[in-house]
Amino acid sequence: MNVKKAVIPAAGLGTRFLPATKAQPKEMLPILDKPAIQYVVEEALRAGIDDILIISGRGKRSIEDHFDRSLELELYLKEKGKADLLEEVQAISEKVAIHYIRQRDPRGLGHAVSVAEPHVGGQPFACLLGDDIMAEDNPLIERMLAIHARYGRSVIAVKEVPREEISLYGCIEPDFVEDNLARVISIVEKPPPEDAPSTLAAIGRYVLTPEIFDALRRTEAGVGGEIQLTDAINILAQEQAVYAYVFEGGRYDIGNKLDYLKATVELAVDREDVGKEFREFLADFVQRRKLL
């Protein structure tokens, strides 16, 4: 079955980026001239997904406003002859159907995904975290959809991380069936480095079968007192095959200050409008620093 729906959880409080996120959702932090969550929506569009449910929360109204039409702005741009900008602000709303539902209580990622069940309607769906963005040349979700089409099972994205960092992620015990594809024997949320079954960390992209909702109903509160999606995936992996696709590069955690800076720099250097001058500035900056 082709996957045509995506769920984007965007209800987190963004505490790692305070005070900037006190009055602004972390998903709306700009990378150059575009908010982080728009990169995620565009990633889903590139993969052929045109029905998106955003799981929001209190204080997230600006996300809805961003993807809605702004007739006053569009009229202003039209009158000023700014056709390129007009096309850009209209593009997303014309290409994708975006729906919203609130996670009323901040009970974790697993709980956020569970409220999407009525919208998903018993179909497999992609899940893309709203504060993780991928480089445009990283076809991660397309490859995961291809794996799902081949096996008909859930697929999660994993990446090698240093062992001392594995306690920040969900970690899988893998059984490799191909060079970069493993069956998940088990997955545990934020294990101590010495207890981690591997250094393969679950990274913000999932293709999930509808059975995940039954697993979520059976999932008890875990790390942080929250319903963890990782724990539900572990339940599912004991009952049917769940696959992990190992990818490299091209991913930024926008809730992490260093990753945010990296995303801004790496995405800027490839831009047609500012890339050349920005590369020249960076080269000059590095040279000046060497001379200090």
Q: pLDDT tens across 41-89, in order? A: 999 999 999 899 999 887 788 888 888 877 788 777 777 787 777 777 7
6-20, 97-111, 140-154, 241-255: which is most confident? 140-154
Q: Which two tokens stand for residue 171?
A: 């970690």
What residue type is 32 in one-letter code?
Answer: L
Under the banding of pLDDT at 50, 70 and 90, the label for residue 278 is very high
pLDDT of residue 15: 80
Which percentage of the chain shows pLDDT scores above 70? Answer: 99
| Total Cβ atoms within 10 A of residue 220 | 7
Q: Write out the two tokens for 80.
A: 């000023």
200 with 288, same domain? no
Torsion, Cα 250 253 259 262, to 10 degrees, reads: 40
Q: Does residue 111 share a domain with residue 22?
A: yes
268 and 169 in one domain? no
Q: What is the mean pLDDT of the chain?
A: 88
130 CB-near residues (< 8 Å, 6+ apart): 8, 9, 10, 27, 36, 37, 40, 54
Task: Encode pLDDT of 100-133 as tens digits.
Answer: 988 877 778 999 999 999 999 889 999 999 888 8
**Cα angle for residues 170, 209, 4 (degrees, 5° grid):** 110
Which pair of tokens denotes residue 129? 């975290």
Question: How far apart, in whole angstroms, are the C-alpha atoms of residue 108 and residue 189?
Answer: 12
The pLDDT tens digits of the residues spanning 212-251 come to: 999 999 988 777 778 899 999 999 999 999 999 999 877 8
| pTM, to two decimals | 0.89
Q: Are residues 39 and 58 in the same domain?
A: yes
Label residue 143 by pLDDT band (50, 70, 90): very high
Residue 195 CB neighbours (<10 A): 10
On whether both 202 and 239 belong to a single domain, the answer is: yes
Q: Are residues 216 and 279 in the same domain?
A: no
Residue among 80, 125, 71, 136 nearest 99 (CA): 125
User: Same domain for 105 and 201?
Assistant: yes
- The domain that holds 9 is classified in CATH as 3.90.550.10
Residue 1: the pLDDT is 65
CB burial of residue 279 (10 Å; 0-12, 13-18, 19+): middle
C-alpha–C-alpha distance, residues 220 and 265, integer Å? 41
Segment among 108-112, 148-152, 207-211 with least mean pLDDT = 108-112
Torsion of CA 166, 169, 170, 173, to 10 degrees: -20
Do 54 and 190 lie in a common domain? yes
Rg (CA), the chain: 20
Q: Which domain holds residue 124?
A: 5-255
60 and 117 belong to one structural domain: yes
**In this predicted model, what pLDDT tens digit does every residue of 256-271 receive, in sequence order?**
889 899 999 988 998 8
Question: pLDDT band at 253, cuts 50/70/90?
Answer: confident
Q: Give mean pLDDT, residues 8-16.
A: 82
The CB density around residue 132, as the number of other CB atoms within 10 Å, is 21
Same domain, 292 and 165: no
Is 270 found in the same domain as 146? Answer: no
- Do 57 and 40 fall within a single domain? yes
pLDDT digits (tens, 9 = 90+) for 155-182: 999 999 999 999 989 999 999 998 899 9
What would you measure as the largest C-alpha separation in the chain, in angstroms? 63
Domain count, the chain: 2
pLDDT of residue 291: 65
